[in-house]
């Protein structure tokens, strides 16, 4: 049966617990990498990670004039850590809730019952749970936010069910309806921002919403089911984590830990070999498979192969059909950072958030022409995976029939396996990618990796495909619990180029606990700005990078002095990082976008542990908050 004692765990934690990657050994590689590691550590020991890693060192060489100019980029007084149950923002700023779990999108829904949560009848008409990636669209004068609901806390949504485990198909439907995506119009009034109830843009997309498969996997034998013999019509989008926005005004929602929704009611069923790489196992925390046959892999073995994609949604048309863009690969997608290359091709950067998995890039065949046909841009192109050298260079390895020996549909469905074949670099859990709008460079949060270079039974830990997680320059720490942010500069200033240079923008650490060495962090981390587990990341229009954390918030031991999860701003030019916001205890800060006039910043608070945002005696509710300056000046 499902382990109901693990409902408090995040998706990533639950998945690690149930799908520990296998251990294999390759002694020669271990030794080889250990030597490289010593070389790298000796540089770090001199207190100049920056010298080895590149331009973090620019911080030290800034002239005072540059420093002054840089200082003016932080228009706020940095704040201290917090350990309480609310949000803190700098002096001169304020915050208010915009949308809470269970708030009606339509007047036919009633507000949440503070004791019973959301009824089945209301569950597809209200704001879902656990807000995550989001984007704001301006559509004919309306401001429309599309936002993900990554997962649900069973006990919160099913208070009547023992330990939150579904007892019926109705219970399963509540959980299915509370996840997915919300599209909603928002407006600012006298009392701040609010959902425009009954706006024609308002829409819930959930685990049963009809959508289309397109690209190389559409129509493949790998995705055909009894209910969909053509392999093109699927239902639902799952574990929607980060997001993206195309220049043509569509929303990209990213399916991350989709594996957790598919289980088997038949203990004798031989799980297909490819399930292992994605962590599809017979037990689930949601028990969908017990009441909804579609999720029972012993009856529908291809169903999990129809999830794990990037899904394109048109927020301007509430009746439009979402499209699963399989050309962008099937991985545990974190977000989708879109940029247009020099020649007009569309480039999408994507992380696969699992220990030892990879960083990807898609480049379209076609050119983006404003106002032109964009329907095939994300269907036809080449998927690449990143290989980082220890010398600060890297290359994008194409995943093609020639390089992998796999057919196009196999590459689209078994993308991790394809990437292993070409020798991609195992990474410390790639989370969000962010693209600098004022420089040709991109960043990725590598959140942490407790298994990096860790031995188990005398063998070095691997990802689920057997790729060893040795120490390398881009993932330079054993049992990495703090995380780092890698940055790359495409060759020829072109995001479509096959080569890049890279450095580490920041290596998180704890200089209060570790006085020196790699766990103290890079030179731009200090006792006043330290954090762990960078995850969400977005640039604002001025070129500041906003970093959100999803880490250990015990404020003890290795994490003493780091407080609750938080949001910080970083300056790409100087490396300076300052803390802007702290979230309530137990929560993760994730999801960021701005109002059309850039006078409001919207940030997401996911899974708060204690009553939030409405205070004692009320349910803890995942919430998007609106943050403004008291003087209504620009915030991004
Ligand atoms: Fe949904 Fe990897 O965070
Ligand atoms: Ca995340
Ligand atoms: Ca995370």
Q: How far is the CA of 329 from the centre of ligand 3 (A)?
A: 20
Q: How far is the CA of 271 from the centre of ligand 3 (A)?
A: 28
What is the per-residue DSSP string for 77-95?
-------SSS-B--TTEEE
- Determine, yes or no, domain membership for 636: no
Ligand lying nearest the CA atom of residue 239: 1
Q: How far is the CA of 238 from the centre of ligand 3 (A)?
A: 16
Compare 7 and 120 and report the one with higher pLDDT. Answer: 120
The whole-number average pLDDT for the span 211-238 is 98
Residue with tokens 């932080």: 74
Mean pLDDT of all residues in the chain? 91
> Is pLDDT at 550 greater than 50 in this prediction?
yes
Which residue intervals of 73-137 are DSSP H helices?
none
pLDDT value of residue 52: 36
Nearest CA to ligand 1 atom 1: 241
Q: Classify the C-alpha dihedral 451-454-459-460 as positive or negative.
A: positive
Of all atoms in ligand 1, which is nearest to the CA of residue 447? 2
- Determine, yes or no, domain membership for 1: no
pLDDT value of residue 570: 97
Of all atoms in ligand 1, which is nearest to the CA of residue 429? 2
pLDDT band at 38 (very low <50, low <70, confident <90, very high): very low
* pLDDT tens, position by position, 52-85: 333 333 333 345 665 565 557 899 999 999 999 9
Q: What angle (nearest 5°) sits at the alpha carbon of residue 264, between those of residues 350 and 19?
A: 45
The whole-number average pLDDT for the span 467-492 is 97
Of all atoms in ligand 1, which is nearest to the CA of residue 239? 1
* pLDDT tens, position by position, 581-628: 999 999 999 999 999 999 999 999 999 999 999 988 888 999 999 999
Of all atoms in ligand 1, which is nearest to the CA of residue 332? 2
Ligand lying nearest the CA atom of residue 447: 3
Ligand lying nearest the CA atom of residue 241: 1
Total number of domains in the chain: 1
pLDDT value of residue 66: 57
Question: Which region, left, alpha or beta, applies to residue 98 given φ > 0 means left and ψ of -120 to 50 means alpha?
Answer: alpha
**350 beta partners:** 360
- Determine, yes or no, domain membership for 5: no
> Is pLDDT at 43 greater than 70 in this prediction?
no
Burial class (CB in 10 A: 0-12, 13-18, 19+), 528: middle
Q: How far is the CA of 445 from the centre of ligand 2 (A)?
A: 9
* pLDDT tens, position by position, 10-23: 666 666 666 655 44
Q: Which two tokens stand for residue 87?
A: 């949000």
pLDDT value of residue 181: 99
Q: How far is the CA of 27 from the centre of ligand 1 (A)?
A: 32
pLDDT band at 519 (very low <50, low <70, confident <90, very high): very high
**Structural domain for 130, as ranges:** 11-629
Of all atoms in ligand 1, which is nearest to the CA of residue 334? 2
The whole-number average pLDDT for the span 104-124 is 91
Cα 158 from Cα 186, distance rounded (Å): 28
Of all atoms in ligand 1, which is nearest to the CA of residue 431? 2
Cα 248 from Cα 250, distance rounded (Å): 6
pLDDT value of residue 112: 86
pLDDT band at 116 (very low <50, low <70, confident <90, very high): confident
- In contact, 381 and 255? CB cutoff 8 Å: no
**Residue 165's CATH number:** 2.120.10.30
Nearest Cα residue to 160 out of 109, 210, 115: 115
- Determine, yes or no, domain membership for 433: yes
Ligand lying nearest the CA atom of residue 533: 3
* pLDDT tens, position by position, 225-257: 999 999 999 999 999 999 999 999 999 999 999
> Is pLDDT at 286 greater than 80 in this prediction?
yes
The set of protein residues with a Cβ atom below 6 angstroms from ligand 1 is: 12, 150, 241, 256, 334, 353, 431
Of all atoms in ligand 1, which is nearest to the CA of residue 132? 1
pLDDT band at 26 (very low <50, low <70, confident <90, very high): very low
Residue with tokens 């600012």: 188
Ligand lying nearest the CA atom of residue 483: 3
Q: How far is the CA of 332 from the centre of ligand 1 (A)?
A: 8
pLDDT value of residue 5: 45
* pLDDT tens, position by position, 372-388: 999 999 999 999 999 99
- Determine, yes or no, domain membership for 536: yes
pLDDT value of residue 8: 56
H or E element: which one contains 50? helix 49-53
- Determine, yes or no, domain membership for 2: no
Burial 356-368 (b: 16+ CB within 10 A, else e): bbbbbbbbbebeb
Q: How far is the CA of 12 from the centre of ligand 1 (A)?
A: 7
> Is pLDDT at 39 greater than 80 in this prediction?
no
- Report the share of the chain in percent with pLDDT over 70: 89
H or E element: which one contains 507? strand 499-507
- Determine, yes or no, domain membership for 491: yes
- Determine, yes or no, domain membership for 3: no
Task: Give Cβ neighbours of residue 87 (< 8 Å, ≥ 6 apart).
Answer: 95, 581, 582, 583, 584, 605, 613, 625
Q: Is the pTM of this model over 0.85?
A: yes
**Sheet containing 240-245: order of strands:** 233-235, 210-214, 323-325, 310-313, 251-255, 240-245
pLDDT value of residue 46: 31
The whole-number average pLDDT for the span 407-413 is 99
Q: How far is the CA of 490 from the centre of ligand 2 (A)?
A: 25
Q: How far is the CA of 255 from the centre of ligand 3 (A)?
A: 14
């Amino acid at each position: 049966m499902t382990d109901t004692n693990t409902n408090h765990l995040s998706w990533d934690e639950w998945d690690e617990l149930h799908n520990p990657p296998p251990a294999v050994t390759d002694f020669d590689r271990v030794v080889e990498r250990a030597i490289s590691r010593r070389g790298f550590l000796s540089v770090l020991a001199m207190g100049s990670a920056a010298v080895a890693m590149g331009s973090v060192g620019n911080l030290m060489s800034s002239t005072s004039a540059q420093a002054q100019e840089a200082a003016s980029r932080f228009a706020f007084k940095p704040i201290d850590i917090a350990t309480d149950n609310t949000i803190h923002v700098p002096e001169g700023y304020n915050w208010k809730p915009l949308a809470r779990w269970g708030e009606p999108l339509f007047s036919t829904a009633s507000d949440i019952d503070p004791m019973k949560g959301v009824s089945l009848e209301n569950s597809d008409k209200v704001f879902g749970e656990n807000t995550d990636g989001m984007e704001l669209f301006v559509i004919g004068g309306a401001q429309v936010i599309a936002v993900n609901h990554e997962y649900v806390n069973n006990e919160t949504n099913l208070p009547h069910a023992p330990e939150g485990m579904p007892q019926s198909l109705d219970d399963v439907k509540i959980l299915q309806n509370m996840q997915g995506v919300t599209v909603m119009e928002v407006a600012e009034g006298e009392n701040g921002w609010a959902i425009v109830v009954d706006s024609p843009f308002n829409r819930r997309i959930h685990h049963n919403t009809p959508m289309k498969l397109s690209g190389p996997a559409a129509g493949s034998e790998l995705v055909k089911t009894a209910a969909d013999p053509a392999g093109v019509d699927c239902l639902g989008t799952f574990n929607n984590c980060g997001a993206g926005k195309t220049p043509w005004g569509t929303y990209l929602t990213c399916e991350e830990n989709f594996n957790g929704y598919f289980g088997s009611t038949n203990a004798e069923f031989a799980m297909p070999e490819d399930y292992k790489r994605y962590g599809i196992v017979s037990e689930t925390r949601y028990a969908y498979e017990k009441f909804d046959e579609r999720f029972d892999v012993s009856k529908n073995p291809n169903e999990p192969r129809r999830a794990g994609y990037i899904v394109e949604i048109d927020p301007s048309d509430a009746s439009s059909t979402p499209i699963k863009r399989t050309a962008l690969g099937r991985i545990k997608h974190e977000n989708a950072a879109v940029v247009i290359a020099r020649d007009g091709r569309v480039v999408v950067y994507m992380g696969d958030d699992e220990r030892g998995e990879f960083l990807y890039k898609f480049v379209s065949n076609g050119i983006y022409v404003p106002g032109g046909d964009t329907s095939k841009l994300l269907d036809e192109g080449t998927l690449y995976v990143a290989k980082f050298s220890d010398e600060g260079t890297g290359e994008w390895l194409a995943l093609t029939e020639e390089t992998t020996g796999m057919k196009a549909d196999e590459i689209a469905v078994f993308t991790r396996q394809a990437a292993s074949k070409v020798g991609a670099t195992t990474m410390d859990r790639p989370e969000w990618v962010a693209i600098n709008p004022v420089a040709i460079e991109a960043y990725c949060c590598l959140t942490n990796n407790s298994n990096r270079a860790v031995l188990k039974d005398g063998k070095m830990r691997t990802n689920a495909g057997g790729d060893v997680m040795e120490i390398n320059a881009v993932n330079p720490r054993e049992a990495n619990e703090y995380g780092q942010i890698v940055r790359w500069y495409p060759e020829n200033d072109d995001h479509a180029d096959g080569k890049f240079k890279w450095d580490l923008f920041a290596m998180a650490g704890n200089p209060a606990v570790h006085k020196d060495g790699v766990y103290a962090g890079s030179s731009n981390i200090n006792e006043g700005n330290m954090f762990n587990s960078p995850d969400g990341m977005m640039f604002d229009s001025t070129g500041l990078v906003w970093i959100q954390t999803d880490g250990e918030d015990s404020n003890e031991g290795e994490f003493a002095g780091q407080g609750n999860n938080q949001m910080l701003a970083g300056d790409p030019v100087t490396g300076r990082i300052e803390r802007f916001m702290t979230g309530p205890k137990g929560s993760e800060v994730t999801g960021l976008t701005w109002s059309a006039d850039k006078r409001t910043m919207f940030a997401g608070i996911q899974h708060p542990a204690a009553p939030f945002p409405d205070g004692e005696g009320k349910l803890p509710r995942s919430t998007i908050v609106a943050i403004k300056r008291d003087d209504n000046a620009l915030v991004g």
